[in-house]
């Protein structure tokens, strides 16, 4: 088999994309999609002249259109390819969610078809000139990850961010993600620990949700020699605003979560 002809196209499409970042998680439900959306918002807010886009490659559970508040929009095709949907002046999104006839439609595809979709997203979307492209992947290390990592590597991937919760079982799976990244030669930018503490909305007291594993993610990062990027609290208001597709960076700017996000994106 000769080289994949899509690779040349992908390189061309991503030539003006400075940072290409994969967002991974070992388990589902740890908040990977939420964290991807929040990082994109924080990056876009940081500087107005910074262009950010998200590729929702979570083929079987695309949730970015809802979290980024553009679920009713549609992608358009022009002479230069598909145009991502605009979330804000300097933030855009491409997701398979836009191509489904109803948000409840299930995508039941086998590996090759999923790979084909990711290849198409990377080679046929008019990404334009971007500072950051964040790629939200499904949980685990399956076909989609391999194809996303392989294609992005060819186009010069910056690295991967791994999202986890503090539980032991989630941390075990993070080790697998780290191993995956090392096998496919994708640099690990670091681990974000999500839902590590709970801030009571009534009395603002902070509680550890999984006290037995407090500090576990930081310790694991040390052992595995990867950067620990920070932790985000579990915040019921954040969950509600995200469900409504609202922008938490402008709506709760002094919250712990937004402060933590700003700290994380400063170093990206």
Binding site feature residues for ATP? 26-33
Q: Which is nearer to ligand ADP, 11 or 246 (CB)?
A: 246
Burial group, residue 19, by CB count within 10 angstroms (0-12, 13-18, 19+): middle
Q: How far apart are CA 201 and CA 223, in angstroms?
A: 35
The whole-angstrom distance between residue 152's C-alpha and the CA centroid of its chain comes to 14
Size of the site for ligand ADP (CB under 6 A): 17
Residue 38's closest CA among 73, 71, 67?
Answer: 67
- Measured over the CA atoms of residue 168, residue 169, residue 172 and residue 177, the dihedral's sign is negative
- Residues 235, 257: contact at Cβ < 8 Å? yes
Interface pick for ligand ADP out of 242, 261, 264, 265 (rule CB under 6 A): 242
Interface pick for ligand ADP out of 131, 193, 235, 247 (rule CB under 6 A): 235
Interface pick for ligand ADP out of 4, 7, 11, 28 (rule CB under 6 A): 28
Contact between 40 and ligand ADP (CB under 6 A)? no
Residues 141-160 interacting with ligand ADP (rule: CB under 6 A): none
Interface pick for ligand ADP out of 51, 63, 92, 167 (rule CB under 6 A): 63
Q: How far apart are CA 52 and CA 90, in angstroms?
A: 6
From the list 40-48, 146-154, 235-243, 247-255, the region that binds ligand ADP by CB under 6 A is 235-243
From the list 27-35, 152-160, 173-181, 204-212, the region that binds ligand ADP by CB under 6 A is 27-35
Angle between helix axes 32-46 and 256-266 (nearest 10 degrees) is 70
Contact between 34 and ligand ADP (CB under 6 A)? yes
Residue nearest to ligand ADP (CB): 31
Interface pick for ligand ADP out of 8, 29, 112, 156 (rule CB under 6 A): 29
From the list 101-109, 229-237, 248-256, 259-267, the region that binds ligand ADP by CB under 6 A is 229-237
Residue 229's closest CA among 174, 171, 268?
Answer: 268
Query: Which residues, including other chains, have CB under 8 Å from residue 240's CB and lie 6 or more apart?
Result: none
Beta bridge partners of 82: 77, 125
- Enumerate binding residues for ligand ADP (CB under 6 A): 25, 28-34, 63, 194-195, 232, 234-235, 238-239, 242
């Amino acid at each position: 088999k000769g080289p994949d002809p899509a690779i040349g196209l992908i390189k061309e499409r991503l030539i003006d994309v400075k940072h290409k970042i994969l967002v991974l998680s070992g388990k589902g439900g740890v908040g990977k999609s939420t964290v991807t959306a929040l990082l994109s918002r924080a990056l876009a807010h940081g500087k107005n002249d910074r262009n950010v886009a998200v590729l929702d490659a979570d083929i079987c559970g695309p949730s970015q259109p809802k979290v980024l508040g553009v679920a009713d929009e549609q992608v358009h095709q022009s002479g230069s390819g598909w145009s991502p949907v605009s979330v804000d002046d300097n933030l855009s999104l491409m997701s398979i969610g836009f191509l489904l006839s109803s948000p409840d439609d299930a995508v039941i595809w086998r590996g090759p078809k999923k790979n084909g979709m990711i290849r198409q997203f990377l080679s046929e979307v008019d990404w334009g000139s971007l500072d950051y492209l964040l790629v939200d992947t499904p949980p685990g290390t399956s076909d989609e990850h391999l194809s996303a990592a392989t294609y992005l590597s060819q186009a010069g991937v910056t690295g991967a961010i791994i999202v986890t919760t503090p539980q032991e079982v989630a941390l075990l799976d993070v080790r697998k993600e780290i191993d995956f990244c090392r096998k496919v030669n994708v640099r690990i930018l670091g681990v974000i620990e999500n839902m590590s503490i709970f801030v009571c909305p009534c009395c603002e007291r902070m509680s550890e949700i999984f006290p037995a594993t407090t500090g576990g993610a930081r310790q694991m990062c040390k052992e595995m020699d990867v950067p620990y990027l920070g932790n985000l609290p579990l915040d019921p208001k954040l969950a509600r605003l995200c469900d409504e597709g609202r922008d938490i960076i402008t709506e709760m700017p002094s919250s712990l979560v937004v402060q933590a996000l700003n700290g994380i994106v400063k170093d990206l």
